[in-house]
Structure 1
Amino acid sequence: MLLFNRLKLYRLFLFCLIGIVSVSCKSYYTTLTIETPKPAKSELPADIQSITLMNRSITQQFENYQEDSLQLYFYRQGFQLSKVVLDMTATDTTIQALAALLFESGRYDVVVPVQRNMKRDLSYEFTPDTLSSLLVSGICQKYNTDALLVLEKFSTKVMTDFSAEKYNDPTTGLSHSYYASMDLKYNAFFRIYKPGRKPVEIELTDTIYWESADYTQVRLFSKLPSVKQALTNAGIKIALDVDGKISPSWTSEKRGYFLFDPKNDIGQQLINENKTDEAVAFWKEKSKSTSKKIRGRAEYNLALASELEGDIDGAIEWGLKSFYTYYQYQTEVYLKKLQALKQSRLTK
């Protein structure tokens, strides 16, 4: 069983920390850049945090095509062919790529069982009935996940074309030019099962297109992917499409924090070195100050540190402490941002 260990649900990345200070040497307020999540287009319920991925699309009509033999088949047809090609590698690539994308989004824990292909007797073009609630519950319990994502149907149709033209070259005489294209139409249907609920359904249909032109056939076809590669690309494209629907995207945002020494601030040095824990310890010590201004600014910085760790509730708590200790406009603005993040339900 391939188990993708949990990333923190709300994952923030510090980057480009050194050199992003945009204020003068006398300022006590500076900025850094973080990445924050943007809600998914078709966001799943907040109680779905972990997903098992399985495949119910493979029928007896599927084959594990060898790249060379499949390409040779199309060449022998003059590369002028329209054919449904059901490749086991392509459909499994969809599952594997989708698992990696969901995991990398930071939104989900993902489990891909070794025995992930479910029995199917229907022909590839038919959509199977929904799985029973009992079976779904059993799978979710077995792999300790909240939901089950199943690739229910998968098909790819490859359409190729080839043409050659003769022309008179003033230098070499009679010559040839060649043109080839490949269209790959895919269809995929997914269900996301949550025990006790109606499944969420996602259907995707699209076409990927390649073309090439050259004066030799060798160079012509070197510019095109092989048919096998095109099928694999379709599996990856499907995974990207599904991930784009149910996973958050990430956008860069600025965050500010206070300095206690505008020329040589210890907290800033630690943040620039990505030593957040040590910066937290420094700010906690400052939060014990008898000066309300120093204490309030330290509490503000601790709110930021909590956000960087994905703890939005903790960030709000520290932000409120700062607000009531020593009012600053930056604190009020930051608290509004934190409340908006909490309402987005992208964090725990």
Structure 2
Amino acid sequence: MKKLMLMLLISSVLVSCKINQLYLNVIEPAPVTLSQQIKKAGVINRSVPTDETRILDVLDKALSLEGVNLDKDGAEQAINGLSAELLNNKRFDDVRTLTDIDFRTPSLMGIFPVPLSWEIVSKVCREKGVDALFALEYYDTDTKLRYSTRDKGDKEVLGIKIPGIVHQADMETIVKTGWRIYDPINRVVADEYHHVQSVVFSGTGVTPLVAVAGLIGRKDAIKEVSSKAGHGYALRLIPYELRVMRDYFVKGTNNFKIAKRKAQVGKWNEAGELWEQETTNPKRKVAGRATYNMAIINEINGNLDTALAWAQKAWEYYKIRQALRYVDILENRMVKTDILIEQQQR
């Protein structure tokens, strides 16, 4: 057993010695792609309960310790946050919050309602002069209160020992929002997204009432979280930066050692020149590693087609194990790059 463990340890050391890791910042396409024809956005609130479900809504608020108008105010903040962030998006010529239309939904407690009919969506877009509808489909808060005590130690008053008890109230509010984007041009729901965030407050005091009274600022905090939920949803239309890790070979010949040091000081192109020299090395293992590294340097320089060709060669001709997985990574990046180009066209 000890011999086996020693062999595993040696193996891991050898792997770490022949390979280094680098980090790249790559641009990922936005999670949501909209038609280029959509230039004007309308924002609607469907989270208001219908008359038929209003009684259930009131009961839900009572059972979950929700404050007066908490859902109404929170939903308004979510809508405002969405509208503000959409206005910052250069792809839209105009963003309109459609507050003069009474949209209601029979859905309660964080469940998506039935989508709007395309007849309604098209009519609203036509009458309001917008190309698509961004809808807050539901907004719900669920609040729970936990109460506890802890011993603070005895306290002496006028020679009498009085037990010191601290009362603590912990209140957690879960804010749930559901969003859809209606594209009437192509008659598709371009996105359906559910977001959940928890807000926790604590208060302490010498009595339970004093502890609960310490739960101040709850409503303002929930409104702020709701606004951020709206901002966050609008960002699903924006490409974002992602940090990724890549492996590259640093052992094989003296050129690999020099290239390793050049890479460590940021001279990647000079390192690439040394790797390219080794792609014709008579030793297959060395040539294979150099071929794989050529894929890495080309990805660093943004040449994905060339990087893919090198990675494929590293696997097909030299069976470099890392190259096969790298081929999949590069092919995936190329697909995402095409989506990114489409998203950046207005």
Q: TM-score range by the shorter chain?
A: 0.5 to 0.7
Task: Give yes or no for contact 2:295–2:306 (8 Å, CA) kept in 1.
Answer: yes
Aligned equivalent of 1:123: 102
Match of 1:150 in 2: 134
Match of 2:186 in 1: 196
TM superposition shift of 1:274: 3.6
Deviations 1:241-297 (A, max 9, x none): 8989x999979655232546459823212322344344334444x268675756654
Mapped partners of 2:32, 2:331: distance in 1: 16
Q: CA deviation at 1:337?
A: 3.4
Q: Is the 8 A contact 1:184 1:207 kept in 2?
A: yes
| 1:51 shift after superposition | 9.2
Check if 1:314 corresponds to 2:314.
no
Q: Indicate if the aligned counterparts of 1:303 and 1:315 stay in contact, CA closer than 8 A.
A: yes
Deviation at 1:190, TM superposition (A): 1.7
Contact preservation (8 Å) 2:83, 2:95: no
Determine helix, strand or coil for the equivalent of 1:256. strand
User: Which structure's CA Rg is the greater one?
Assistant: 2
Tell me, what secondary structure is at the counterpart of 1:214? Answer: strand
Distance 2:271 2:38 in 1: 35
Kindly state the Cα deviation for residue 315 of structure 1 after the two structures are TM-superposed: 1.6
SS at the partner of 1:122? coil
From the superposition, tell whether residues 191 and 256 of structure 1 become closer, same or farther in structure 2 (CA, over 3 Å).
same
In structure 1, the partner of 2:272 is 280
Deviations 1:113-139 (A, max 9, x none): 58533434223534764357997xx98
SS in 1 for 2:188: coil
Cα distance, 1:303 vs structure 2: 0.7
Query: Structure 2 CA distance, aligned partners of 1:220 and 1:80?
Result: 14
What whole-Å deviation, never above 9, does each CA across 1:91-145 have from its counterpart, x for those lacking one? 3435667999xxxxxxxxx64658533434223534764357997xx988xxxxx
Partner of residue 339, structure 1: 328
Q: 1:211/1:112 Cα in 2 relative to 1: closer, same or farther (>3 Å)?
A: farther
1:74-113 paired onto structure 2 within 5 Å: 81-83=67-69, 84-87=71-74, 88-94=76-82, 111=90, 113=92
Runs (5+) with no aligned partner, structure 2 = 1-11, 49-64, 106-114, 339-346
How far residue 214 of structure 1 moved from its aligned partner, in angstroms, is: 0.8
1:227 corresponds to which residue? 219
Is residue 42–residue 125 contact of structure 2 (8 Å, CA) maintained in 1? no
**Pairing partner for 1:181 from 167, 171, 177:** 171
Distance 2:274 2:73 in 1: 60
1:199 shift after superposition: 2.1
Question: Is residue 208 of structure 1 aligned with residue 208 of structure 2?
Answer: no
* Counterpart selection for 1:271 from 260, 263, 285: 263
Letter in 2 for 1:187: T
- The question of whether the paired residues in 2 share the 8 Å contact of 1:161 and 1:182 is answered with yes
Q: Choose between structure 1 and 2: higher helix proportion.
A: 2
Alignment-mate amino acid for residue 43 of structure 2: R
1:57 to 2:60 alignment = no
Counterpart selection for 1:255 from 247, 252, 261: 247
Change (3 A) 1:231 1:323: same
Percent identity at matched positions?
Answer: 12
Q: Which residue of 1 aligns with 2:20?
A: 31
Which stretch of the first structure deviates more once superposed, 195-204 or 232-241?
232-241
Report the counterpart of residue 60 of structure 2 in structure 1. none
Residues 195/55 of structure 1: CA separation in 2 closer, same or farther (3 Å cut) = closer
Task: Give the match for residue 52 of structure 2.
Answer: none
Partner secondary structure for residue 123 of structure 1: coil
**CA offset digits 1:162-198 (Å, max 9, x no partner):** 9999x9x963669884636353543332216385352
Q: Distance in 1 between matches of 2:36 and 2:235?
A: 14
Change (3 A) 1:170 1:300: closer
Q: Provide the secondary structure at the position in 2 that maps to 1:187.
A: strand
RMSD of aligned Cα (Å): 5.7
Tell me the alpha carbon deviations over residues 201-260 of structure 1, each in whole angstroms, 9 at most, x when there is no partner: 41537573534241168886667654222222234356668989x999979655232546
Distance 1:139 1:288, change over 3 A: farther
Distance 1:240 1:58, change over 3 A: closer
The code of the aligned residue for 1:198 comes to V
SS at match of 2:169: strand
Select 1:329's aligned residue among 314, 319, 327.
319
Q: Distance in 1 between matches of 2:217 and 2:21?
A: 42
Number of aligned residue pairs: give it: 281
TM-score computed with the length of structure 2 as normaliser: 0.54
Would the aligned equivalents of 1:280 and 1:305 in 2 still touch at CA under 8 Å? yes
Partners of 2:204 and 2:212 in 1: how far apart? Answer: 5
